[in-house]
Amino acid sequence: MFTCQLCNGVSKPRQQPKKVVVERRPKTYINPGGLMSKGWEIVRELIVCAACALSLNKEKEVTKAYERR
């Protein structure tokens, strides 16, 4: 069981939490051979219930659609 960090609801037993990335930053990685590669590093993530994860996902889709205009 867990407490959703958005709605503060308590989950049902055996319900799996969803992790949602809310902040990330660019990161440069250097492997042992000296080669560099770029990627992303998670700065902050939330543990949320399925309902909140679904609503956040819909928000992201709407925002992306709006930005494409």
What does the domain layout of the chain look like in residue ranges?
18-68
Give the residue from 55, 45, 47, 54 showing the smallest Cα distance to 18.
47
Q: What is the pLDDT of residue 21?
A: 85
Q: What is the pLDDT of residue 3?
A: 95
Q: What is the pLDDT of residue 62?
A: 56
Classify burial at 55, counting beta carbons within 10 Å of its beta carbon; exposed 0-12, middle 13-18, buried 19 or more.
middle
> pTM here?
0.68
Q: What is the pLDDT of residue 68?
A: 62
- Average pLDDT by stretches of 10, the chain with 69 residues: 92 91 91 91 91 83 60
